[in-house]
Amino acid sequence: MLADHYGHDKLAEMLRQWGAGKTSEQVMGDVLGKKPAELDHEFRVFADQKLLRGEAYAKLVDEFVDAVREVFPGALIQWEDFRKDNALRILDRYRSHVLSFNDDIQGTGAVALAGVLSAMRASGAHLAEQRIIIHGAGAAGLGIYRQLREALVSSGVQQQAIPRHLAVLDSTGLLVSDRPARDEYKRAMAAEMTLRALRRATERALAYA
């Protein structure tokens, strides 16, 4: 853990100095008393360790959030480039405790929604009448799905009717209710349709093509 290695007080002081505009080398030198020749080792302190997972990973993020809240109360944390499952879990865990923003999820979703709403205004169409396919079910696809879902509900679509308006494709095809999904968050985006029903619908569509 960062705090185990540096101590909580030093971790907090490092954040203070980074916030004051100092470079990483200056911070490491001032806080840890390291000479330039010793810094390479400090920057690589975790390089040979296995990736943290599970409880150890969660503890590391907790330590970071605690230090940020202590040093910069009211600061917004931009969670950037986390793997999609970690990105969603971290955002949902901390959004009620500290101002949080994930560009991959929320930023992409906001831009996509802005494009859809602009298209509705330019064409005179209504969002509640649209059926939208999202190609990709990673962090960006999830963000787009969430933003469009909320916009559809705001436009009068009932929550239970959302699957009739939004469909999501991942690398193996359409997300449907009985298709196994390794990522739990994909289940919330799945259409209320079985694989068998999907095959029948596809065959009918091809027959009329």
pLDDT tens digits, one per residue of 143-185:
999 999 999 999 999 998 998 899 999 988 888 877 777 777 8
The residue with greater pLDDT, 166 or 5, is 166
Residue-wise burial string across 33-59, b where 16 or more C-beta atoms lie within 10 A, e elsewhere: ebeeeeeeeeeeeeeeeeeeeeeeeee
Mean pLDDT of 104-111: 94
Minimum mean pLDDT among 32-41, 111-120, 151-160, 173-182: which range?
A: 32-41
Which neighbouring-strand residues pair with 78?
Answer: 101
Mean pLDDT of 41-58: 63
Q: Are 75 and 99 in contact (CB under 8 A)?
A: yes
Q: Are 98 and 69 in contact (CB under 8 A)?
A: yes
For residue 61, count other CB atoms closer than 10 A to its CB.
Answer: 17
Q: Provide the pLDDT confidence category of residue 7 given band limits of 50, 70 and 90.
A: low
Domain locations in the chain as residue ranges? 2-73, 105-207
Express the helix, strand and coil content of the chain in percent, nearest 5 each.
60, 10, 30
The residue with greater pLDDT, 40 or 113, is 113
> 137: closest CA among 161, 112, 163, 171?
171
What mean pLDDT is reported for the chain?
Answer: 80
Architecture of domain 105-207: 3-Layer(aba) Sandwich (3.40)
What distance in Å separates the CA atoms of residue 106 and residue 185, rounded to the nearest whole number?
15
pLDDT above 90 coverage of the chain, percent = 29
Check residue 163 and report its DSSP letter.
G
Q: What is the pLDDT of residue 189?
A: 86
